[in-house]
Structure formats: C-alpha cells, structure tokens
Structure 1
Amino acid sequence: MDTSKLIGGRFKVKDRPVSGAMGDVWPAEDTKLGRTVALKFLARRRLRRQGAATDFTDWTVKRFGQEGVAMARVSHAHVAQIYDTGEHEGELYIVMEYIRGRSLAGHLREGPTLTLERTVRWAREICEGLDAAHSREVLHHDIKPDNIMITNEGEVKIVDFGLASFADVAQSHTGAGTALYKAPERWGGSPGSVRSDLYSVGCVLYEMLTGRPPFGNPQDDPMTVGRMHQDNAPAPPSAHRPGVPGQLDRLVRILLAKDPGDRPRSAEAVSAMLSDIQHSLGAEDTATRRAHVSGGVDGSADHSERIRELDRQIFELEGRFGPYDHAVIDARIVHAELTGRSGDTRGAAALYNRLGRDCQDLFGPYDARALNAFEGVARWIARSGAG
C-alpha cells in the first residue's frame, strides 16, 4: 500500500503497521484535527489470496459499513472509539482511537502472574465495555486477550468490534488464537449472542487467573479445541492457582456453561458480580492490614483503589524515568507487598520474582535490590503454604 500520500485526504501514516489475521493497523496523524489515530485496514485482497470465500468481498463491504455506523454510536471509556470508515487503493479501513499501551495478551505473555485485584478489575472493565456495546445491539464475536488493550494508565480498551464479526467468514483465518475463546454454540453454527461474548469473557478470565486458557493451547488444531469447548469441563481456576477465591471459581464456572441459558443474562450482571468480588478483596486487605500494622503500608485507602493508583504511578514513572529508576523499583516493591497483604500471596511472589530478575539483569546477580526481591519471593511463598 502506498503510504506516501494522505489517506482519505487527511490521514498521514506515521510508522510501520502492526499486522493481524484480518488486517493491519497503522498509526497516523489526522492532519485536520491534529491528533494521532489508528487506521485499521481490512485486508480483502490478502484474505482472497489465502483462500477466503469468493462472496467474502461484497458481504464484507456491506457489513463493514454497518458495523462502523453501529460502533460509532458506542461511547464508553472501555471501548476503543471508532471515528470514521473509508477506502484506500481498494482496501477498506476504519479510523479509530489510538491507544498507547499493550494488549492483555502481551501482559499475559511477558509479565508476571496477574494479581487477583488486577484480574478482577480488568475483567470488570471488559464487561462494562461489552455492556455498552450490547446495549446498542452490537456483539463482539471475538473477545480474546489480543483484542483487549491495556492503556499506559492501566485501563481496559476493547478493540476490533469493527472487524470481529467478519472473522468466521474467512475460514482460513479462524485459527487456534480465536478457537481458544469461542463459545460451544458457535462451533455448531450459531451466529452467537450476548451470552456467547460472555463465554469468551469466561475463557479470558480463566487465563488471567491461571496463565492458560480453559481448553487447548495455540498450537492445537482448532477443531480439536472446538470439541473440547463442546464436550469437556475445565478444572476450576483454583486447581491451577491455590488461593483463588471460591466466588471467582463459581463465576468462571457459570460463564463457561455449555448451555447459553445457564450463563449470566448480561455483561452488566457479570460486572456487578465482579464488583462484589473486588469489594471483598478490599475487605480482606483491610483485615490483613489491621493484623500487620507494622508492615509500613497506610491502611486508610481501599485496597482496590490503592492497587489502581500504584498501577498508574508505575506506568507514569516508567514512562518518565525508565523501568529501572529507583522510584520505579520502590513502587514495584510496595505493589508486591500490597498484593501479598490482600491475600494473593502467590501473586506477590510472582511480582517479586520478576523484580528480582529485572534487577539482576541491570545491576548484577549480587545487587542488594535483587537479593531483597528474592527474599520477598521466599517470604510470600512461605506464607502461601507452598514452600
């Protein structure tokens, strides 16, 4: 694609694209409004070359426009805003909000085990964004970690509403990455529903808690994964991660129910359940702080809000001073301690382990900061009863 000229008469491509199965995303400058946007191109030609059905093009053109109009009506803090649609050199594109951050898939793949608080908070924000779309009768059809962005401020943004409903048409692109999160009824040919999206949320929540999806892995044959979704029952998250509250085990179980009628009625209902769990985590943290007054953490703020503020502080400090500044390391230590005191001892150990390895890489294997971090690993593993 020729990116040397303005796209749509106003968008100037700024950098290289990020490629996905259904298309490419280019950062661009909106020369009319003076802001950075993301241009997501639907790769019709590429899909046809790789075996998509011959009637894919006409159907896609129609649906692409309809989806863009629908999503333009959805305005919510946890949904990436769609601004416009267009066509350039025979390829359709949407103009959407540019998100500074990285995908949930990146966090799961590259970061430490997510804490319970962060897991519950991000899952709640996913459901809040989905509820806003569902209220406009817009389904996502492809909720998965790659389609959930986490901003540099630690907030969820759901992306790809504009393309997700086309994914099943391009059969050559229905790979295991999507199969891992696809509801049982959709393997039987159902177009899906609100409760199909919620099943996918259950798969994502399961992976956030355990580090693995409930069925299969990315290397498995998609049809094999599909049979697992239809026939198998996953072990509860607590079987893979001791310390997961029973409330979360129960919520995951009902989200992953085979019969859509056995799942929650709405994303709003799931968000309310997650809010209750989030408050209970905060209550547990308050009780723990009272038992550990000498620990040096102020007990005046709610646990969830303190974790949220620490997330923002760490993101901001890393952006300003780099990941290994003293202030960043100090904030990560406080974050790990607060995580442990909330009852998520394994999460605390994982955070300290990542910090220790990072400090070793930068400061050397015998640096005091690295050794102190690994002492934190041992301390919180011992408290978990696993060591």
Structure 2
Amino acid sequence: MTGPRNGRRFVGPGDRFELADHIGSGGFGDVWRARDGTLGREVALKFLALNRLAGPRQDPERVTQVRERFARESLIAAKVDSPYVASIYDCDMGDETPFLVMEYVDGEPLNAHVGITPLPLARTCRWSSQIAQGLAAAHDRSVVHRDIKPSNVLVREADSDVRIVDFGLSRFIDATETRSTAGTPLYMSPERCRAEPGDERSDLYSLGCVMYEMVTGWPPFGDTRADPVALAQAHQNKAPTPPRAQGSGVPPALEKLIMTLLAKDPEHRPHNARAVVHAIKEIERDLDVSGPERRTDGLLPGPGASASDNGFADRLSAAELAVRRLIWKHGQDHALVITARMELADLTGHSGDVRGAAELYDRLGQDCSAWFGPGHSRTLDAFEGMVRWVSA
C-alpha cells in the first residue's frame, strides 16, 4: 500500500485503486471500498492478513506458500458466475499486502434483516432461492463456500437482490490455519464441526440454518452468546425444534424443506442446490406469490385473500426499498417512514402472508411505543393494524 498523497491513499500497479472507506475486518483481513481509476467504478478490496496467516516467525517459505495458496483459491472462486454471487475481478499479488478486487455491493448484510422476529414468507422464499441459485452456480464449478451465514450474504440497496461473498476464502483459511476450521458455529454443518472438509451438502446445511432463522427469528441452536463447543455438539447430536413449533404461519412444505436441509447425515439432505431452488418454487406456487398485477376491478384484495389475484414480488421489493430510502433521508421516527412501514405491512398481508403483516405491524408498534409512548396515536394505529391481520 502506498503512502498518503494529498490526503489520499492508493494501492495496486500505477496506484490504480484509491481507497475510500474501511468497510470491515475479519479473519481474512481488512476490506475497503475503493475506486478503480482505470475503469472508473467502485470496487471492494479485500486485503490478505499475511502477517497473521503466515505465522509469527514470517518464515519466507511459509509466506510464499500462503501467497500461492491465496492466488489459487482466488482463481477458483473467480470462476463462479452468478447474479447472486459477488464477482471477483482481479487478484493483486505484487503488493506487499496481497488483495482481491471484488464487486462492491452497496447494501446491508442479511444479518441486518434477520433476528428476533421472522421475515415475511415472500421475502424468505425470494432470498433463499437466490442464495440457492448462487450456490448452484458455485457447485457447478466445484466451488464450495464452507461458511454460508447471514453476514456473508449482502442485500443490495438498489433491488433487494442478494450477493453471496467470500467464496473460497474458508478453504483458504482452513489450509493456512492448521489449528482452526473456518466457519461460524451457529451455521456450521455437523461434518464441519468435526473438522471435516465437507462438500456441497455442507453449504446446504448452512443454508438451512439461515432459512430457519428467517422463518423463526433465531438460528436452530443457540445465539451469538452460546458456547462454540456446545453449538458444535448440538449441530452433531441435537434435533432442531421444528419451525412451526416456534410460531404459526410457516407452511408445512417450507418446514419440511428446512428440516431436510438440517439433516445430520449429508446423504439425507437435498441432492444439490438446484433441488432446493425447485422446492422453493413449488412452495411459492402453493403460496400464490405470483400472478397478474391487479384485479380486474383495480382493487387490492382484502385481508386473507389469495395473492393469486395480485403480483406482489416486485411491489414488495419496491416497498422495502422505499422504506430504507425514507429512513436514510428522514430518520427512523419520521411520519413518512411510519406510513411507508404500514403500507409495507399491508402489502405483505395482501400478498397472502398475514403472519408477516402482523409481525411487521407489531414491530412498528413497539418502535412507536419507544419513540412516542404507549398511548400515542401512531403506537395505537400500529397495534390496531397488528390485531387486524391477526384476526385475518
């Protein structure tokens, strides 16, 4: 990395990349948003923590091995071609600190959307299908992620589509850190918990954990405060509580798919990611989440109506995007934001997901109670909306 020049920092051959913002850090290294001066686009640079991964003694042979392994894994991951996988554009090995040049995804990680309360079913199906499609494209290239988790799935601000990040990096860390296995215990397959390499079906198990959290609000075992050893034992030996026992409104077919993904034996999981995509399409068909844009009379269906009378996938995405933009412009507690959240909740209910509508209104009611007080009209309106959809 070159030194600052006029308060600006550049890296790469000919100072091609100008560093803008530090996005985050992890076991692999630091990630920066940067501008590609040659192609005039924003990119994400993921720097290799060479000093840590090569060990404290910095043996030259070991450093060379880590660099070569990094280049190989980057080349393998770059072969994955999917609209739901963040692209790898380049790998710079000439710098003192090697780095990947990746697609910059303007959005939030999935873990900003999941947790505590379930997601609406239409959104769960959409994002789960997109993750599965990204995995299918990777598995077709014999690339296994090994660390599928909400923080490795980014939701784009522009269209609410997902991008999976960090393909190949877990295998790289497995190979360089002999005392640990890359992966997050909350979402790690039983075989990965046993420090086995795992395969495509390990990714499917982790997808099942993510889907479980989408529909229940919690991972299948524990939370971020749980002991990693206890989590590993649970993944290997404990049966997860069926999602429908955690709360009503989960379709039986969706619960069956999630429980199959969470099978302890990889042989009992779906054969591949494309089978998961197909199963989700069948679930969406049963939920009637697609159809003509409006009824012939131009009216929205009432609570409990089938979404087969109305096409909602694009409209839900647009409504979610509108809420985020209003929050960015006006703040969480602005009247326009509250109105937009109510409209999103009603649209969710009209799509056929009455449980999702009730939960969105309940969350809004709790927020309004904290902002304005339990007796405020906005708080009462939100809880009234929740009751309306619960009754539906």
| Other structure's SS at 2:365 match | helix
Partner of 1:155: 161
Cα 1:349–1:57 shift into 2, 3 Å? farther
Shift of residue 225, structure 1, vs aligned partner: 1.6
Partner of 1:245: 251
Deviation per residue, 1:106-164 (Å, 9 max, x gap):
2224x853111111110000001111111111111110111000111211100001412
Q: Does residue 255 of the first structure (1) align with residue 257 of the second (2)?
A: no
Shift of residue 346, structure 1, vs aligned partner: 3.5
Cα 1:2–1:220 shift into 2, 3 Å? farther
Q: Does residue 220 of the first structure (1) align with residue 220 of the second (2)?
A: no
Partner of 1:118: 123
Shift of residue 239, structure 1, vs aligned partner: 0.9
| Other structure's SS at 1:243 match | coil
1:180 and 1:215 in contact (8 A); partners too: yes
Q: 1:333 aligns with which of 339, 342, 361?
A: 342
d(CA) in 1 for partners of 2:214 and 2:381? 27
Partner of 2:310: 301
2:22 and 2:30 in contact (8 A); partners too: no
Partner of 1:133: 138
| Other structure's SS at 1:96 match | strand
2:23 and 2:33 in contact (8 A); partners too: yes
Cα 1:232–1:201 shift into 2, 3 Å? same
Shift of residue 363, structure 1, vs aligned partner: 5.7
The residue type equivalent to 2:139 in the other structure is H
Q: 2:319 aligns with which of 310, 329, 334?
A: 310
Partner of 1:198: 204
- The 5 Å alignment of 1:16-27 reads 16-27=22-33
d(CA) in 1 for partners of 2:286 and 2:260? 19
Count of paired positions: 379
The residue type equivalent to 1:128 in the other structure is Q
- Higher mean displacement: 23-32 or 312-321: 312-321
Shift of residue 98, structure 1, vs aligned partner: 0.7
Shift of residue 369, structure 1, vs aligned partner: 2.9
Q: Does residue 371 of the first structure (1) align with residue 387 of the second (2)?
A: no
d(CA) in 1 for partners of 2:355 and 2:62? 48
The residue type equivalent to 2:10 in the other structure is L
Cα 1:208–1:51 shift into 2, 3 Å? farther
d(CA) in 1 for partners of 2:228 and 2:62? 21
d(CA) in 2 for partners of 1:332 and 1:29? 34
TM-score (norm 1): 0.86
Q: Structure 1: which 5+ runs fail to align?
A: none
Q: Does residue 81 of the first structure (1) align with residue 87 of the second (2)?
A: yes
Shift of residue 279, structure 1, vs aligned partner: 2.1
d(CA) in 1 for partners of 2:193 and 2:22? 35
Q: Structure 2: which 5+ runs fail to align?
A: none
| Other structure's SS at 1:369 match | helix
d(CA) in 1 for partners of 2:365 and 2:83? 35
d(CA) in 2 for partners of 1:17 and 1:293? 43
1:15 and 1:28 in contact (8 A); partners too: yes
| Other structure's SS at 2:288 match | helix
The residue type equivalent to 1:127 in the other structure is A
Shift of residue 310, structure 1, vs aligned partner: 2.4
Shift of residue 50, structure 1, vs aligned partner: 8.0
| Other structure's SS at 1:84 match | strand
- Higher mean displacement: 205-214 or 52-61: 52-61
Deviation per residue, 1:251-275 (Å, 9 max, x gap):
0111111111111111111011111
- The 5 Å alignment of 1:87-106 reads 87=93, 90-106=96-112
Deviation per residue, 1:165-188 (Å, 9 max, x gap):
22334366658x712212112233
d(CA) in 1 for partners of 2:60 and 2:235? 30
The residue type equivalent to 2:319 in the other structure is L
**Identical-residue share of aligned pairs (%):** 43
Say which structure, 1 or 2, has more relative contact order (CA 8 Å, 6+ apart).
1
d(CA) in 1 for partners of 2:139 and 2:73? 13
